[in-house]
Amino acid sequence: MGLSLQEQLLKAGVVDKKQVKQAEHEKRVQKKKKKKYGAPAEDSAKIRLQQQQAEQAKHHQELNAQRNQEQQRKADQAAAKQLIKSNYLPLEEGDVVYRYVAGGKIKQISTIQEIADKLSAGKLGLAMGDKDVVLIPAETVLKVLQRDENFILLYNDPEHADDEYPGEW
């Protein structure tokens, strides 16, 4: 077997025993420091591991936020359905045809003049019940709109009514 580099340098007379001992001592000190503080390669692995854990935590937070939003949306829909179910008014059939737009289509209901006037004035609204269209008071319409506006088919808000036609011709 060949001699180590230190032994070869010592035989050649390039270094003396004191320098060899000093080099071995420095080597031991470096090895201890590596064990105590970790090798640079281990540090980069730890950093990568921490980054991966941080990314996973962020991903989990996003998924939890999405789940919470979905649960909130379902709770709002259930509350809106309950409000409509508990506050609807009977839709009286009559000879007045009241037309409204729902889902991009013009639809109509036959009712009495009093209900048609209240719908136009914003005192009543039309909502989608379990299977059909129902009347609900304006206060209930506003509560349902806060939860899920998709249940409201028609509401003429008196505060947002614009005069499209001039008063004088």
Pick the range with the lowest mean pLDDT from 4-18, 19-33, 64-78, 152-166: 152-166
Mean pLDDT of the chain: 83
Q: What DSSP string runs through 76-142? A: HHHHHHHHHHHH-B-----SEEEEEEETTEEEEEEE-HHHHHHHHHTSEEEEE-SSSEEEEEHHHHH
pLDDT digits (tens, 9 = 90+) for 143-163: 888 888 888 888 887 776 555
Mean of the pLDDT values across residues 124-149? 86
* pLDDT for the residue 40: 58
* pLDDT for the residue 64: 94
The yes-or-no verdict on residue 20 having pLDDT over 80 is yes
* pLDDT for the residue 70: 94
Coil, strand or helix at 15: coil
* pLDDT for the residue 41: 56
* pLDDT for the residue 164: 58
What is the spatial distance between Cα 124 and Cα 138, in angstroms, rounded to a whole number? Answer: 5
CB 135 within 8 A of CB 115: yes
Mean of the pLDDT values across residues 85-107? 85
Mean of the pLDDT values across residues 105-114? 87
pTM exceeds 0.85: no
What burial letters (b/e) apply to 19-34, b meaning 16+ CB within 10 Å?
Answer: eeeeeeeeeeeeeeee
* pLDDT for the residue 1: 55
